[in-house]
Structure 1
């Protein structure tokens, strides 16, 4: 099969009843580039790859096609002589005269600006962090077509060598993958050059092994029971944080950021209905008497909890307002766990881990746990609860 050929693409019919004329590029796989021309099957010479004499102005149109093919052959020859891997994206950009290169770091800057405008401050900060660490790993200008297994494996080694935890490296790689996916959607990289492993190509780079140090820290069942009778009257300055933690726990391990944004409109017919910011998934939780007691203690005209009452309106400033509140909350939880003599310090995530652990210890079926936690697939839930199950098996081993 010839590497380059002009064809009538019969798999698609235009609104005028004609088929588009395209340049077929074969380099291990067929790809097609539109030439902005079309014809009916009766107006096309299949063997020659040209307009037939039945088409009006066929000679002028064929001259244009010959120029297109000559240009394509020249570009392909230059790529082969350069010794670089063939990239359909680069070939297409040069062929169409749109070969302005967007670097990886440049696209990161673009995404940060876009996300700030979209008021997605958390995600914009993730890309800022990725850009900063990539700049340290490899400065200068490099393109998405330069991102391959060797680049990513080297980036992983760089992060581990500087002391990053596996979970942090996993975070950077996950963010990088999201950036590459967006680059493909915007045709900055051809899908065939995707550098990350998939179920169809396991020889590309995978970061699945970087989650080995995942270590959720739930409160053991006995400590959770003791927490219910925490002597809060002796520590009134911890009252608000204690109540918030209990509410998070009873609301299926509600995320602190989501708690901050709860309003009176989220209370519907005895249920707490809200959309989780991280996933966009709708949750509907029955409000217990204990939850109502806490809500009634703090509910304002708008928010259920007063954390955002005096928050600035600018999205970036509002984000940091919540982050500051979270730091203070975790500081109080650390003090509570110290007072109680718990083995591990508490954080806002302890509520979610502890809620999950209670379900696991009470033999709740995994599909129900998946539904309660709002996981999109059961594999996520199984990974989430694996640590808790292992700890119970360890206790059984102690009897041997």
Structure 2
């Protein structure tokens, strides 16, 4: 019997990969079957009939091919020793592995699901639990892609690199999505090791991924004024008003949709919002400036909730139309990392606006008006000031004004002066 492995490049899939086949010749018969492995042409060594080092997990994959050849040789020998005549069908049947039961206590996908329920019982919020659900789905998809289960105790750096390769190149996930998976996977492994006594095949700290800063979309003072004064169809006006209210207060969609009259309180002749944030469960107190109060008064008494808030998807869809009608059409460059390549696109800003853009707008406009970062942190409800400092990085006006003053020797006008300076005020501390 002679056994060969062939990379059939005539059947390349959308990712550019082709399947590796086992071809065996014996007694003037031929057996041809898929090994279940596939790779790019550059990752296969035709002369040596094995995977090159450029293939993620090449050692494990080559060991699988060697084991498959050994099992085929043994099946051929055993069938002849028992007096039978080996055929392609009988050998293929002998190679088919018995369906081994997946032990729930070891399968990584099932363990991630169990861990998510543990976190639910410990009071983790729904948005956080949703991230663990998505990670579990990615692990399941990788299992199906590799055609073998992921086991906690045998999970190695080789398998981890293969997972990252699949997510980055096959699924083309963004770097921050891969970072989220690794972060949540490390949380699971730490839980298994420290609280459930699992013995792992790797050091959890060796699992690394890097997050990248994503360009945040926000409206300038001029664009915010265009939006406020735009003449819109009556069906779009409530959406515009809710968005502006978030621009004036920094509220997330999850918080503005739950506002009721009980969140409004009097303060020093004015009004403030006092609420507990849905995402972080942190209490915040926000001074209601005149533009924000006018929006509340406009919808007073119409419903139990403070403002007419639709479903998030509906709000986001309407906002794009609203911003286009209001003339928020400046071209911006969107840079994304896909499959290890930086892809740049020119987009109109209105296409990128969502409800969360209001929070970015409030933060950047507050900084431009001179609000201290420490105060902005309290208004936004950030537990760590490093999160707030991200907004300080994207306020380009500071650097442009400084460069103009230094290079052109001009006293420059504050670019935020076109908008009422009270829009982004906050409740002062009590004396």
Question: Fold conserved (TM > 0.5)?
Answer: yes
The equivalent of 2:414 in structure 1 is none
Distance 2:207 2:367 in 1: 34
The equivalent of 1:157 in structure 2 is 165
Instruction: Please give the residue correspondences for 1:69-80 in structure 2 after superposition, counting only pairs within 5 Å.
Output: none
- Deviation per CA, 1:60-84, whole angstroms, max 9, x where unpaired? xxxxxxxxxxxxxxxxxxxxxxxxx
Structure 1 residue ranges without an equivalent (≥5): 1-98, 197-203, 308-321
CA shift, 1:273, in A, is: 1.4
The equivalent of 2:49 in structure 1 is none
The equivalent of 1:283 in structure 2 is 284
Q: Residues 292, 185 of structure 1: CA spacing in aligned structure 2 closer, same or farther, 3 A cutoff?
A: farther
| SS in structure 1 of the partner of residue 211 of structure 2 | helix
Which of 114, 118, 125 is residue 110 of structure 1 equivalent to?
114
Which of 302, 313, 324 is residue 327 of structure 1 equivalent to?
313
The equivalent of 2:180 in structure 1 is 171
The equivalent of 2:58 in structure 1 is none
Distance 2:318 2:104 in 1: 53
CA shift, 1:302, in A, is: 3.5
Distance 1:172 1:293 in 2: 43
| SS in structure 2 of the partner of residue 237 of structure 1 | coil
Using the size of structure 1 for normalisation, the TM-score is 0.59
The equivalent of 1:296 in structure 2 is 297
CA shift, 1:340, in A, is: 2.4
CA shift, 1:240, in A, is: 0.8
Is the 2:152–2:200 Cα contact (8 Å) retained in structure 1? Answer: no
Instruction: Please give the residue correspondences for 1:376-395 in structure 2 after superposition, counting only pairs within 5 Å.
Output: 376-389=383-396, 392-393=398-399
CA shift, 1:358, in A, is: 0.9
The equivalent of 1:338 in structure 2 is 324
The equivalent of 1:353 in structure 2 is 360
CA shift, 1:148, in A, is: 5.1
Is the 1:102–1:188 Cα contact (8 Å) retained in structure 2? Answer: no
Is the 1:295–1:305 Cα contact (8 Å) retained in structure 2? Answer: yes
Instruction: Please give the residue correspondences for 1:108-257 in structure 2 after superposition, counting only pairs within 5 Å.
Output: 108-112=112-116, 121-139=126-144, 140-147=148-155, 149-161=157-169, 162-184=171-193, 186-187=195-196, 189=198, 195-196=204-205, 204-207=206-209, 209-212=210-213, 214-232=214-232, 235-251=233-249, 253-257=250-254
Q: Residues 216, 148 of structure 1: CA spacing in aligned structure 2 closer, same or farther, 3 A cutoff?
A: farther
The equivalent of 2:427 in structure 1 is none
Structure 2 residue ranges without an equivalent (≥5): 1-102, 331-348, 409-431
The equivalent of 1:60 in structure 2 is none
Q: Residues 380, 154 of structure 1: CA spacing in aligned structure 2 closer, same or farther, 3 A cutoff?
A: farther
Distance 1:148 1:348 in 2: 41
Q: Residues 224, 305 of structure 1: CA spacing in aligned structure 2 closer, same or farther, 3 A cutoff?
A: closer
Q: Residues 369, 124 of structure 1: CA spacing in aligned structure 2 closer, same or farther, 3 A cutoff?
A: closer
Is the 2:382–2:388 Cα contact (8 Å) retained in structure 1? Answer: yes
Kindly tell me the number of residue pairs found equivalent between the two proteins: 273
CA shift, 1:156, in A, is: 2.8
- What RMSD in Å do the two structures reach over aligned CA positions? 3.3
Distance 1:113 1:371 in 2: 31
Is the 1:115–1:121 Cα contact (8 Å) retained in structure 2? Answer: no
CA shift, 1:218, in A, is: 0.8
The equivalent of 1:272 in structure 2 is 273
